[in-house]
Amino acid sequence: MINIRFAEEKDLEQILDIYNEIIINTTAVYDYDPHTIAMRAAWFEAKKKDGYPVFVAEENNEIVGFSSFGPFRVWAAYQFSVENSVYVAAAHRGKGIGKLLIPPLVEAAKKKGLHVMIASIDASNLASLVLHKSFGFEEVAHFKQVGYKFGRWLDLKFLQLILNHDL
């Protein structure tokens, strides 16, 4: 059984392993170099300091995925918009773990009084596009050839979910 819970410091090494595999082998993260445990610890501390949640999917004491959100842009007018991240370990993709990691993000964002959640997804990542659309995210932008990885240009799509129509 998969348990979704708030991440703890003890989870950082497994979170880092998932993230680095994604950097090395996929276009889900537009970065080239694996991160260090110090980088992941600083990321986690910043999330805690700024009040942004990090959730993990745990199965048999193994972290099989994680999700979070953070600021969409740094300027004040964007304070009610956040960008989400959902990552699943390679051996566990396609098992519905992403579907378990998005609802707590949406609920946490609503509780914080946020207005919009944005997902930035590589245009070739059909699984992530379908996943987000299944939760009501709508495609609002398609940026052509904005990233370069693995010897090719990458397109990026923005999807958004309006969380609170009353603001």
Q: What is the CATH number of the domain that holds 19?
A: 3.40.630.30
pLDDT of residue 164: 82
Task: Determine the structural domain holding residue 102 and report its residue range.
Answer: 2-162
pLDDT of 35 over the 90 cut: yes
Tokens representing residue 130 in the block: 């379908």
Angle in degrees, 0-180, between the axes of helices 12-25 and 37-50, rounded to the nearest 10: 110
Band (pLDDT 50/70/90 cuts) for residue 167 is low
Q: Are 67 and 52 in contact (CB under 8 A)?
A: no
Angle (CA) 55-10-17 rounded to 5° is 75
pLDDT of 165 over the 90 cut: no
Q: What is the average pLDDT across 98-107?
A: 98
Going from the C-alpha of 8 to that of each of 11, 60, 76, the distances in angstroms are 5, 16, 29
Tokens representing residue 162 in the block: 């309006």
Tens of pLDDT, residues 61-85: 999 999 999 999 999 999 999 999 9
**Rounded Cα gap, residues 109 and 70, in angstroms:** 10
pTM, 2 dp = 0.95
Residue 167 inside a domain? The answer is no
pLDDT of residue 46: 97
Q: What is the average pLDDT across 122-145?
A: 98
Beta strands in the chain (DSSP E): 2-6, 54-59, 62-71, 81-88, 116-122, 138-149, 152-162
**Rounded Cα gap, residues 66 and 97, in angstroms:** 9
Could you tell me which residue, 167 or 165, shows the higher pLDDT?
A: 165
How many domains does the structure of the chain reveal?
1
**Rounded Cα gap, residues 51 and 35, in angstroms:** 23
Q: What is the average pLDDT across 143-167?
A: 93
